[in-house]
Amino acid sequence: IDDLENEQKTAITDHKKTVHERVGNTKFEYTAGSFFQNNNVVLVPLTSYVRDAVFVEGMPEDERPTHLVDAYCGSGLFALTLAPAFQKVKGIELSADSIDFAKRNARINKLDTVCEFIAGQAHKIFDEVQDFPRDRTALVIDPPRKGCDEDFIKQLLRFKPRTVVYVSCNVTTQARDLGDILRKSEEELEGQKYIIESLKGFDLFPQTYHV
């Protein structure tokens, strides 16, 4: 995986084997049977869009997010590809195996001093980041198809990160969750509210209706 000129694409059919993947300059290892975005061609544009959504062009330096929370982080795709732009990154994931690989991937990419990964329920990550500055924290959400539960959204609104980037493979539950976040933020945040700044689809699953 360190020899770019001689890298070869191979198919892993044993779900217990370890997959070696590269997204841009970031290297990943994960168990073949675990979740990882499966269309490598789209992953650099996708992670770049997430980065650009956090660091909006023209944003003043003293307003740029310095901390990142990656909910549903898996083996660290967004946390690690975005980590060089942040002072501190914290990710959480239900799968202990994925967290083990996220920690390994942080070491492989020499980002283990910036990134911390925790196995547990996604909504509990807010208990772990109470020392993060709210107005300089970005949150990336990449939940399963069922989307975010009500408790997660309540805690998100209580924490009030500066920026939220919601990645989804199910636009129906994403639309439901965004509606809840926008409506409840207007009702509950005392003059503050979240707004949608941008929306973009990525064709990770060609010739299907999934995005």
Q: Are strands 88-93 and 115-119 parallel, antiparallel or unpaired?
A: parallel
Whether 169 is catalytic is yes
Q: Which residue's entry shows tokens 């990770």? A: 204
Q: Which of 76, 53, 55, 73 is nearest to 64 (CA)?
A: 55
Spatial CA neighbour of 74 closest among 51, 101, 48, 49: 101
Taking CA atoms, 21 is separated from 25, 31, 91, 154, in Å, by 10, 11, 19, 35
Beta carbons of 166 and 137 less than 8 angstroms apart: no
Q: How far is the CA of 144 from the CAs of 101, 141, 166, 169, in angstroms?
A: 19, 10, 12, 8
- CA torsion 141→144→146→151, rounded to 10°? -50
Beta strands in the chain (DSSP E): 18-23, 26-31, 67-71, 88-93, 115-119, 137-141, 163-166
Q: Catalytic one among 73, 115, 148, 169?
A: 169
Q: Give me the active site residues, please.
A: 169
